[in-house]
Amino acid sequence: MTVSAHGLDTTSGLTTAEAARLLAAHGPNEVGADRRVPLWARVAAQLRDPLIMVLLAAVALTLAIGDHPDAVVIALVIVVNTIVGVVQEVRAESAVAALSRLSAPAARVLRDGEQRRVPSTEVVPGDVVALAEGDIVPADARLTEAAALLVDESMLTGESLPVAKAVQPRQKADGVVQAGTVVLRGRALAVVTATGADSALGRIAALLRPRPEPTPLQRRLAGLGRVLAAAAVGLCALVFVLGLLRHQPPGEMGVTAISLAVAAVPESLPAVVTLALALGARRMAARHAVVRRLPAVETLGSVTVLATDKTGTLTQGRMVVERLWTPHSTATLTGLGYGPEGRILLDGAADDETRDLLTTAALCNDAALRPPTGEDGEWGALGDPTEAALLTASGKAGLDYERLREAFPRVAEAPFDSVRRRMSTVHRTPGGGLLVCLKGAPEAVLAPAVLAEPPELLEKTRRAAAELAAEGFRVLAVARRNLDRLPDPPEDAETALRLLGLTALADPPKPSAAATLAACRRAGIVPILVTGDHPATARALAVRVGLLEPTAGPGAVVGGQSLAVTDLAHARVFARTDPRQKLDIVQAWRARGAVTAMTGDGVNDGPALRQADIGVAMGRRGTEVARQAADLVLADDELATVVSAVEEGRRVYDNIRRFLVYGLAGGAAEILVMLAGPLFGLALPLRAGQILWINLLTHGLTGVAMGAEPVSPGAMARPPRPPHQHILGSGVWQRVLLLGLVLAAAALGAAIWARHGERPWQTVLFLALLAAQLGTVLGLRERLLNRANLFLPAAVLASAALAAGALYLPFLRDVLDTVPLTWGDLAAPAVAGLAGFVAARLRKRGI
Gap between the Cα atoms of 151 and 143, Å rounded: 12
Conformational region of residue 845, where left means phi above 0, alpha means psi within -120 to 50, and beta covers everything else:
beta
**E runs forming strands in 174-311:** 176-177, 182-194, 289-291, 305-308
Count how many Cα atoms sit within 13 Å of the Cα of residue 121 in the half-sphere of its side chain.
9
User: CA–CA separation, 178 vs 24, rounded Å?
Assistant: 22
Give every CB contact of residue 18 below 8 A, 6+ residues apart in sequence: 126
The amino acid present at 665, given as its one-letter code, is A
Reduce the DSSP state of residue 251 to 3 states and report it: helix
Q: Please, are residues 242 and 70 in contact by the beta-carbon 8 Å criterion?
A: no
Q: Which residues contact 676 (CB under 8 A, 6 or more apart)?
A: 744, 748
Q: Which helix (H) or strand (E) holds 148?
A: strand 140-152
| Active-site annotation holds for 174 | no
Cα–Cα dist 325/635, whole Å: 38
Tell me how far apart the alpha carbons of residues 578 and 584 are, in angstroms, rounded to a whole number: 10
Going from the C-alpha of 773 to that of each of 559, 702, 709, 834, the distances in angstroms are 58, 10, 17, 10
Q: CA nearest 263: which of 770, 622, 831? A: 770
CA 582, 585, 590, 595 torsion-angle sign: negative
Instruction: Say whether 307 sits in a helix, a strand or coil.
Output: strand
Residue 138 burial by Cβ neighbours in a 10 Å radius (0-12, 13-18, 19+): buried
- State how far the Cα of 405 lies from the Cα of 403, in Å rounded to an integer: 5
Question: Which residues contact residue 800 at a Cβ distance below 8 angstroms, ignoring those fewer than 6 apart?
Answer: 771, 774
Which residue type does 422 have? R
Distances (CA, A) of 642 to 182, 410, 649: 29, 48, 10
CA–CA distance, 111 with 119 (Å, rounded to integer): 13
Burial (CB count <10 Å: 0-12, 13-18, 19+), residue 442: buried
List b or e across 610-629, with b for residues whose CB sees 16 or more CB atoms inside 10 angstroms: bbbbbbbbbbeebbbbbbbb
Answer yes or no: are the C-beta atoms of 101 and 624 closer than 8 Å.
yes
Query: Which member of 127, 135, 198, 309 is catalytic?
Result: 309
Enumerate the β-bridge partners of residue 321.
Answer: 505
Q: Which amino acid is at 369?
A: L
Contact 847, 658 (CB under 8 A): yes
Residues designated as active site: 309
